[in-house]
Amino acid sequence: MGLETQPNLEKVAWLNPDAIIASHFRHERVAPLLSAMATSVYANTVYDFKTTLALVAEASEREQQAQALLQRWETRVADFRQQIADQLGGQWPQKVAVVRFKSDHVRIYTSGFAGSILDELGFEQPETLASQDWGVKLASTENIPVLEADVIFVLLEPDDPAIAANYQHWASHPLWQQLTAVQRGQVFEADPVSWMMGGGILAANAMLDDLYRYDQLTPATAGKQPHCAVCIQERPSC
C-alpha cells in the first residue's frame, strides 16, 4: 500500500484499522494523518526486531504469543552459537562483512538489522571496520582490502543488470581474489529482503536459517519451525 515512507493513506483508511503501527523514521511526516485514523504507536528504530515485536504485541494484546516467539528465538540463538563454536573450535568467533552492491559503489554494513543479529550470534566485525558507525561506502576497487574478513555475505538487488555487472567487476579484481573469505570459499549471496529490508522477527529467523545452511549446521528445531507463528497469531496449521 504505497511506499515505505509514503503509505497509501486512502487504502489505510479503507481498512478501518483498530490500531496503526508505524516508525518515527519512516512515517513522522504523515503521523498526524495516521493518528486521525486510529490509535497509532511508533517504533523508534526500524531494525530492532525485539522492540518492534513488543510494540506489536502490546498494541494487539498478544504479549504471551510474543514472549513465546522470543523464547524460541533465544533457544535457536543458543543452539547456533553452541554448534558453530563446536564446529570451528579455535577459529571461532569469525569476522564477517555484510556487503551490499549498488550499480556504482559498494556498501559495507557494520550495524543495523543484520549487524545486530550477527553480533548476537557471536560474530565479530573486521578490524578495518571496528571504528565505523553504520558502515563504509566504497567507490573504488582499490578499497577492496577493507573487506578482509573470514566470511563475506553479499547482498544483491534482484534483476538489476547494472548491480550484477558491478559485482562481477569487483569479484574479478585481483585484490578480491586475495581476500581470505574468497580463498576459503566463504562468500555467500544472501537475500537482501531478509538480511536488510525485513527488520522483523520473521526476517530474523529467515536470516538465521540462512546461517545454519551456510555453515552446514542442523537446527535443533528442524522440522518444527512454523514460520507463520511469527505473525503472533494462533493458527490451526501451526
- 187-211 pLDDT per residue, tens: 999 999 999 888 899 999 999 999 9
Calculate the CA 126 to chain-centre distance.
18
Predicted TM-score of the model (pTM): 0.82
| C-alpha cell belonging to residue 21 | 503501527
HSE at residue 225, side-chain half, CA atoms within 13 A, is 16
Residue 80: predicted pLDDT: 97
Selection from 125, 32, 223, 199 nearest residue 209 by Cα:
223
Cβ atoms of 9 and 38 within 8 Å: the answer is no
Lowest mean pLDDT among 18-22, 99-103, 170-174, 231-235: 231-235
HSE at residue 97, side-chain half, CA atoms within 13 A, is 30
Flag whether pLDDT at 73 surpasses 50: yes
Q: Residues 38-47: pLDDT tens digits?
A: 777 777 777 7
Question: Measured between alpha carbons, how far is residue 143 from residues 73, 100, 112, 137, 153 in Å?
Answer: 37, 14, 22, 10, 17
220 Cβ partners below 8 Å, 6+ apart? 75, 76, 79
Distance CA 138, CA 154 (A): 14
User: What's the CATH superfamily of 70-214?
Assistant: Nitrogenase molybdenum iron protein domain (3.40.50.1980)
Flag whether pLDDT at 20 surpasses 90: no
Residue 32: predicted pLDDT: 80
Task: Count the Cβ atoms, other than its own, within 10 Å of residue 73.
Answer: 20
Residue spans of the domains in the chain: they are 1-44, 70-214
Flag whether pLDDT at 60 surpasses 50: yes
Distance CA 40, CA 4 (A): 16
Mean pLDDT score, 50-55: 90
Q: Residues 82-139: pLDDT tens digits?
A: 999 999 999 999 999 999 999 999 999 887 899 999 999 999 988 776 655 667 889 9
Flag whether pLDDT at 236 surpasses 50: no
Residue 149's pLDDT band (cuts 50, 70, 90): very high
Cis amide linkage into residue 93, ω under 30° from 0: yes
The rounded radius of gyration (Å) of the Cα atoms in the chain is 20
